[in-house]
Amino acid sequence: MTLNNYNFPTHVVSGAGARHELTPMLKSHGVTKVLLVTDKGVATLPFFGDIAETLKRDFAVEVYSGIEGNPLISHVTAGTETAKGFGGDAVVAVGGGAAMDVAKCIALMQHHPGQLLDYEDGKPDARPVDQVLPLIIALPTTAGTGSEVGRSAVVSEDATHIKRIIFDPKLLPVHVLMDPELTLGLPATITAWTGMDACSHLSEAFLAPGYHPQCDGIALEGLRLMSQALPKCVTGVMNHETSKTYVDARHDMLNAAMMGAVAFQKGLGAVHSCAHALSTVCDLHHGLANALMIPYVMHFNLRFAEGRMKTMAEAVNAAEKSGPGWVGWLQTMNKMVGIPSSLPEQGIEARHLDALVEVAIHDPCHQTNPGPVTAENFKDIFQQAFAGTMERAAT
Ligand SMILES: [Zn+2]
């Protein structure tokens, strides 16, 4: 596979083996000390060891790998201590959305005073991001959040799991090395969950109100790519495939995830509000939460956006090219990649209903839902997801 260079929305090197560009890239910036940021799982994988060992030939290297599960403020605090003690001039994130977001925050806090939440997006008295950040380079190992091309980081408070957003253009990685070989060994579950997160970004962005033909075009092509690639990735990993078709599908998913993050500059919607509630209240994986909720929320949204859902049904070549056909396609895709069709199947109990509605209604994402969503609507949507009884919209 040849390496592709994009300069949109940042510098991206995309293709099998892209990770080997890391050393020359760091050298071109005159870097001498590299902080590698990853999660506990990735830290044990052979490719991570290889990346660290390769870097040690040319640079002083320190590793922060304390991230586990959803990204927490305590991860940022611990990583920042490591970063300040080490004094590196580059932060290289290797991992999924959690590692990526924590790495961005560590890069921010290395030379900025105070606490992370002093820089929270929208805070009236927020401190300015006015210091130089170390060079940020991202190597995604999942195809989901697209955080590698995002200018924000989402981290949760440790005690409450409430999500906080840090936003600044300086958080956008300067380089992204999008190497499908880093995702070949992802378990089928994480592949499916993160892939459906990307699907949620692409489709919610496409439905978000507002005139933005660039984002709309990117969203539709991203949906087409993911519709073909995600099932191949899930079955490929289960069959221990190493074929070019499998690597190509992984490459397509990385691109689809990146396109989702570009497209959702336009906005997200109520799927993400429900997912944020499930992560906050039940600590559910973000991608899995989106996957579980997307058919129910899209079914609700038919009343606002049936025409645009028909366009998405056409983009993914759904069996029925209609609004209900789009909802039916989502149910079929979930089934194909092993996502349960109701919340209790994932261990989420109905006693959480009120708390879920409470978090969802206060979540900002549904402000760009294609139509308004009330607390009563959220309650209905969650109740359907508990019962798993939404009528199948299409076959
Ligand atoms: Zn998401």
Residue 12 · residue 172 · CB < 8 Å: no
211-264 pLDDT tens trace: 999 999 999 999 999 999 999 999 999 999 999 999 999 999 999 999 999 999
Non-local (6+) Cβ contacts of 85 within 8 A are: none
* Helix, coil or strand: residue 114: coil
Closest CA to 172 of 72, 265, 34: 265
Fold of 186-387: Dehydroquinate synthase-like, alpha domain (1.20.1090)
Q: How far is the CA of 43 from the centre of ligand 1 (A)?
A: 23
Query: Is residue 1 scored above 90 in pLDDT?
Result: no
Q: How far is the CA of 4 from the centre of ligand 1 (A)?
A: 26
Q: How far is the CA of 152 from the centre of ligand 1 (A)?
A: 13
Residue 294 · residue 329 · CB < 8 Å: no
What is the pLDDT confidence band of residue 395, given thresholds at 50, 70 and 90?
very low
Average pLDDT score over the chain? 96
Non-local (6+) Cβ contacts of 144 within 8 A are: 96, 97, 193, 194, 195, 197, 198, 257, 286, 287
Cα–chain center distance at 292: 15
Query: Is residue 29 scored above 70 in pLDDT?
Result: yes
Q: How far is the CA of 147 from the centre of ligand 1 (A)?
A: 9
Non-local (6+) Cβ contacts of 45 within 8 A are: 185
Q: How far is the CA of 29 from the centre of ligand 1 (A)?
A: 32
The residue to which tokens 């998913």 are assigned: 253
Q: How far is the CA of 287 from the centre of ligand 1 (A)?
A: 6
Q: How far is the CA of 96 from the centre of ligand 1 (A)?
A: 12
Q: How far is the CA of 19 from the centre of ligand 1 (A)?
A: 25
Residue 88: enclosing H or E segment and its boundaries? none
Q: How far is the CA of 15 from the centre of ligand 1 (A)?
A: 24
Please give the CATH architecture assigned to the domain spanning 4-182: 3-Layer(aba) Sandwich (3.40)
Non-local (6+) Cβ contacts of 304 within 8 A are: 207, 369, 370, 371
pLDDT at 232: 97
pLDDT at 390: 76
Q: How far is the CA of 87 from the centre of ligand 1 (A)?
A: 32
Q: How far is the CA of 260 from the centre of ligand 1 (A)?
A: 9
Spatial separation of the C-alpha atoms in residues 285 and 290, rounded to whole Å:
9
At position 64, the amino acid (one-letter code) is Y
pTM (2 d.p.): 0.95
Q: How far is the CA of 190 from the centre of ligand 1 (A)?
A: 14
In angstroms, the first-to-last Cα distance of the chain is 37
Q: How far is the CA of 33 from the centre of ligand 1 (A)?
A: 32
What is the pLDDT confidence band of residue 162, given thresholds at 50, 70 and 90?
confident
Q: How far is the CA of 243 from the centre of ligand 1 (A)?
A: 29
Better pLDDT: 358 or 163: 358
Q: How far is the CA of 259 from the centre of ligand 1 (A)?
A: 12
pLDDT at 372: 98
Q: How far is the CA of 286 from the centre of ligand 1 (A)?
A: 6
Strand-pair partners of 163 = 156
Spatial separation of the C-alpha atoms in residues 263 and 272, rounded to whole Å:
14
Report helix angle 323-336 to 188-207, nearest 10.
170
Q: How far is the CA of 372 from the centre of ligand 1 (A)?
A: 20
User: Cα-flanking dihedrals φ and ψ of residue 132, to 5°?
Assistant: -70, 135
Q: How many helices (H) and strands (E) does the chain have?
A: 12, 9
Q: How far is the CA of 257 from the centre of ligand 1 (A)?
A: 10
pLDDT at 161: 84
Q: How far is the CA of 24 from the centre of ligand 1 (A)?
A: 32
The residue to which tokens 């949109």 are assigned: 8
Q: How far is the CA of 290 from the centre of ligand 1 (A)?
A: 7
Percent of the chain residues topping a pLDDT of 70:
98
Residue 260 · residue 205 · CB < 8 Å: yes
Query: Is residue 210 scored above 60 in pLDDT?
Result: yes
Domain ranges of the chain: 4-182, 186-387
Residue 292 · residue 385 · CB < 8 Å: yes
C-alpha triplet 94, 162, 370: angle, nearest 5°: 90
Q: How far is the CA of 272 from the centre of ligand 1 (A)?
A: 6
Q: How far is the CA of 77 from the centre of ligand 1 (A)?
A: 24
Residue 100 · residue 140 · CB < 8 Å: yes
Q: How far is the CA of 202 from the centre of ligand 1 (A)?
A: 10
pLDDT at 391: 52
At position 105, the amino acid (one-letter code) is C
263-320 pLDDT tens trace: 999 999 999 999 999 999 998 999 999 999 999 999 999 999 999 999 999 999 999 9
Q: How far is the CA of 86 from the centre of ligand 1 (A)?
A: 32
Query: Is residue 379 scored above 90 in pLDDT?
Result: yes
Percent of the chain residues topping a pLDDT of 90:
94
Query: Is residue 393 scored above 80 in pLDDT?
Result: no
Q: How far is the CA of 145 from the centre of ligand 1 (A)?
A: 6
Query: Is residue 392 scored above 80 in pLDDT?
Result: no
> What letter does residue 152 receive in the DSSP assignment?
E
pLDDT at 389: 86
Q: How far is the CA of 279 from the centre of ligand 1 (A)?
A: 11
